[in-house]
Structure 1
């Protein structure tokens, strides 16, 4: 889970595994895998950093690394 700030300043926690994409439009827009869009005050870079840290914390970062290595061998 990552902690983010809505545009009105309220803090909320998001399950980062539900993130499909992050865009800077210029507000940072997070699109979830169900199609829902969330606008946040956090910068694009901060959302990516927090998501990456969360993935490392739960072990998903290593799974992605292994997948990339496996794809190169094919």
Structure 2
């Protein structure tokens, strides 16, 4: 889960696994896997860093790198 700010300054927590796409229009727009769009104050780079940090905290980045290094 990552903490973000809406355009009105209100904070909310978003499940990072629900994110399909992040774009800057110039406002940062996050498209979720269910098609819903959320516009936030945080920059695209900040959101990406929050997601990466979250994945590291829960150990998924290490797991993904191990999967990529296996040979069949």
| Alignment RMSD (CA, Å) | 1.3
Q: In the superposition, relative to structure 1, how do residues 31 and 65 fare at CA in structure 2: closer, same or farther (>3 Å)?
A: same
Deviations 1:12-51 (A, max 9, x none): 0011111111111111011111111100000000000000
SS at match of 1:67: helix
| TM-score of the pair, normalised by structure 1 | 0.87
- Structure 1 residue ranges without an equivalent (≥5): none
Alignment of 1:1-74 (within 5 A): 1-70=1-70, 73=71
**Runs (4+) off by over 6 Å:** none
How many Å separate the matches in 2 of 1:64 and 1:28?
A: 26
- Structure 2 residue ranges without an equivalent (≥5): none
